[in-house]
Structure 1
Amino acid sequence: MQISRRFLPSTALLAAFEATARTGSVTLAARELSLTQSAVSRQIKLLEEQLEVELFLRERQSLRLSIAGESYAREIREALRKISTASFNLRANPKGGTLNLAILPTFGTRWLAPRLPRFLTQNPGITINLATRFTSVDFRSEGLDAAIHFGPRDWAGVEMVLLRSEEVVPACSPELKEQYGFRGPGDLNKAPLLSISTRPNALHQWFSAQNMAGGSGQTMYFDQFATVAQAAMVGVGVALLPIFLIQDELESGKLIRALDLPMESAERYYLVWPPERSTYPPLIVFRDWLVAETLTEG
């Protein structure tokens, strides 16, 4: 799409405007940009003439942003930040590239992060920037190349590759199991149940898999996996947790299976990306590596 040059001011004009808008002073902006005050004033005037919009209200010896100027300053500041970041990343990795990846917090910290050094060693020219997301991302507005997604395979408008499934199991502290003496699924209703707010139906699905109604007792909701796992470890209640993400706690005895009745979740873990990034070299390399990593786990 060709854009009129009128709407693509030079970075020099935009930098002068942004600095003046941020500092509230032509003098301070000029000092920051190593320019004269008259040069900054001239650049702002040129920008206003190019856009045909008054960005500052000039009152005697002072100036302040107009309503239009305030809105424009916010957007320009973000645009300049993105240009600066892109330039920095290119200079740092001229033969590689940067992958901006959204991750699920616990999958990212417990599964992905320990494996990343191996990827970075194998691919020294690639930088990975990680952003935590609890829900689906908007690739159009967030500047992300890909995301780790947990859910059904029904995300329209993206491409994806399956990474892995998971088994969940009701887990708790040894003390809580001794207190309640769980023998069967119905016994869990006697204890407080802990649930993750992003998976509100998981407990009901587990009880249904045991051919019984459940979840009728007290249920506490948490917005993060790490918090609900910690609550289970200190004896607050029983939580339905992915086995592969609590392996260390199970091996150390900080968590135990309240009942040895695992259930395979209906949802899966996927790597997803917008179609326009499908040929982006860092994404291709990372995708192939990530799939290979999950395959080694069987």
Structure 2
Amino acid sequence: MISRLKQIPSPNSLIMFEASARHLSFTRAAVELNLSQAAISKQIANLEQRLGHLLFVRQHRSLRLSSEGKLLYQAVASGLGQIADAVEQLNSPSAIKTVTVAATTAFAQMWLLPKLGRFIQQHPNIDLRILTSENHLGGVDEDADIAIKYGDNTWSKTESTYLLSGDIYPVCSPAMAEQHQLSHLSQLTQVPLIDLDDNQWRWVKWQDWLIDQHSPLKGLRTSIEFNNIPMLYSAAEAGQGMALGWSEFVEDLISTKRLVAPFNERLRIPKPWGYYILMEPSDQRSEHINQVKQWILKEAP
């Protein structure tokens, strides 16, 4: 491909050829391109010499394309037209822009997804691409414009903006809460507990939460463990046990009464821990990327 590209004449000579062929006049091409007629004639002659073919049949006070000229004109006119269309679309204020946001599966499914309808209404000219990634430790994921990650804001060489940090509290299905008349932590011994396995990064488990609440652990039983947060809450919604709900994940489930929070106790995650918007440092960031960032910030409580 590279060797073939080297055979292509200069863009300036092709632009002058296209204008001359379209007008069938060096003079009108010169006026359009704000050049002299002599400059156009010289460029066309050089182009013909390089290609080894006459592109125009020069007649008294008129021009017409040779067969070789017609072949080249069709290709050049088509190529320049496509380039002009692409540039026009890129420069158009109404052009569709794509922004890629990387987030964990849980955050994307349980926090971003319920809000996307508002984004589409507010930003019809931006296509939002969601890239799921379970990489908590690194900075902005490859191929992403924005990453949303949980941590203590120690990412290096990354522009970070604090987003949110919610409460953690027990949640279960409305049927389970009603069946056991749940209202006090001591009743946790009456229900099975659902937990996330130890491999889940920086997840508060039942043992951690109960120690923070100064609540006894004796008599409690964990019936199921998952390594996937959406599955954890699906199991709780199905009445299979009580899970620890992170407010940023269960707010939609609670507002639609698929889950309830029967107890008043809460564990508040202190700063600097929380979710952050991460971006690569840049002095010339695209405006549509900044618009997505500002929308995400406005959606946070």
TM-score w.r.t. structure 2 length? 0.58
Residue in structure 2 matching 1:205, options 196, 205, 208: 208
Residue 265 in 1 paired to residue 269 in 2? yes
Residue of structure 1 equivalent to 2:149: 149
CA contact (8 A) 2:139 2:156 kept: no
Residue 239 in 1 paired to residue 243 in 2? yes
Secondary structure at 2:90's aligned position in 1? coil
Secondary structure at 1:286's aligned position in 2? helix
Identity across matched positions, percent: 23
Cα deviation for residue 185 of structure 1 reads: 2.9
Distance 1:187 1:149, change over 3 A: same
How far apart are the structure 1 equivalents of 2:244 and 2:4? Answer: 56
- Report 1:23-42 matches (<5 A): none
Amino acid at match of 2:288: P
Cα deviation for residue 250 of structure 1 reads: 2.8
Cα deviation for residue 249 of structure 1 reads: 3.4
Residue of structure 1 equivalent to 2:100: 100
Distance 1:128 1:178, change over 3 A: closer
Q: Tell which structure's C-alpha radius of gyration is larger.
A: 2
CA contact (8 A) 1:194 1:221 kept: yes
Gaps of at least 5 residues in structure 2 are 6-82
Distance 1:248 1:115, change over 3 A: closer
Residue 293 in 1 paired to residue 299 in 2? yes
Residue of structure 2 equivalent to 1:36: none
Secondary structure at 1:246's aligned position in 2? helix
Amino acid at match of 1:10: I
Amino acid at match of 1:282: H
Cα deviation for residue 180 of structure 1 reads: 4.8
Amino acid at match of 1:234: A
CA contact (8 A) 2:139 2:155 kept: no
Cα deviation for residue 144 of structure 1 reads: 1.4
CA contact (8 A) 2:136 2:150 kept: no
- CA deviation string 1:181-214 (max 9, x = no partner): 5454344245322123435434233212212353
CA contact (8 A) 2:196 2:225 kept: yes
Gaps of at least 5 residues in structure 1 are 1-8, 14-86
Distance 1:127 1:248, change over 3 A: closer
Distance 1:285 1:168, change over 3 A: same
Distance 1:261 1:271, change over 3 A: same
Residue 284 in 1 paired to residue 290 in 2? yes
CA contact (8 A) 1:102 1:130 kept: yes
Residue of structure 2 equivalent to 1:113: 113
Distance 1:209 1:12, change over 3 A: farther
Amino acid at match of 1:136: H
How far apart are the structure 2 equivalents of 1:159 and 1:288? Answer: 14
Secondary structure at 1:237's aligned position in 2? coil
CA contact (8 A) 1:145 1:277 kept: no
Cα deviation for residue 137 of structure 1 reads: 6.9
Cα deviation for residue 280 of structure 1 reads: 3.4
Cα deviation for residue 278 of structure 1 reads: 7.0
Distance 1:288 1:177, change over 3 A: closer
Residue in structure 2 matching 1:214, options 213, 217, 222: 217
CA contact (8 A) 1:171 1:258 kept: yes
Residue of structure 1 equivalent to 2:25: none
Cα deviation for residue 135 of structure 1 reads: 3.0
Cα deviation for residue 166 of structure 1 reads: 1.0
Residue 10 in 1 paired to residue 2 in 2? yes
What is the RMSD computed on CA atoms of the aligned residues? 3.5
Residue of structure 1 equivalent to 2:49: none
Residue in structure 1 matching 2:228, options 210, 224, 228: 224
